[in-house]
Amino acid sequence: MQTTNQKNNFQAILNSTPLVLVDFYTEWCGPCKMMKPILEELHQEMGSKVRILKVDVDRNQQVAHTLGIRGVPTLILYKQGEIVWRQSGVVPVSSLRQLIHQHSAN
């Protein structure tokens, strides 16, 4: 998993990687802390099928504002730089796994 703090770096990653799951979070958010082990498990299982990127909305307010992030955690799946799925709240690893398989097959 990777954390990013720069808008240009963020966009470059989205455009250069086939599937990117972005976790918009804050350090103080309880549900965000619940997502951490879920994303770590997903990372272990999926390997190179998906790149997982964590974006702290307190440190990256411009990116969060541009994407309309109103609540955390918010997860967005990008495929070749385009949003293909978005959801706020804690998402189980089984749902994320199915989502990755669905979009990596297309």
**Active-site hit among 14, 21, 32, 46:** 32
- If one counts every other C-beta atom within 10 angstroms of the C-beta of residue 75, the result is 24
> Catalytic annotation on 39?
no
pLDDT in tens, 52-84: 999 999 999 998 999 999 999 999 999 989 999
> Catalytic annotation on 32?
yes
pLDDT in tens, 22-50: 999 999 999 999 999 999 999 999 988 89
Helix (H, G, I), strand (E, B) or coil at 57: coil
Cα–Cα–Cα angle for 77, 81, 84, rounded to 5 degrees: 35
Sign of the four-CA dihedral 92, 98, 99, 101:
positive
Is the pTM here over 0.85, yes or no? yes
pLDDT in tens, 82-97: 999 999 999 999 999 9
Which tokens belong to 89? Answer: 């709240």
| Concatenated DSSP letters of 15-32 | HHSSEEEEEEE-TT-HHH
**Active-site hit among 17, 26, 29, 88:** 29
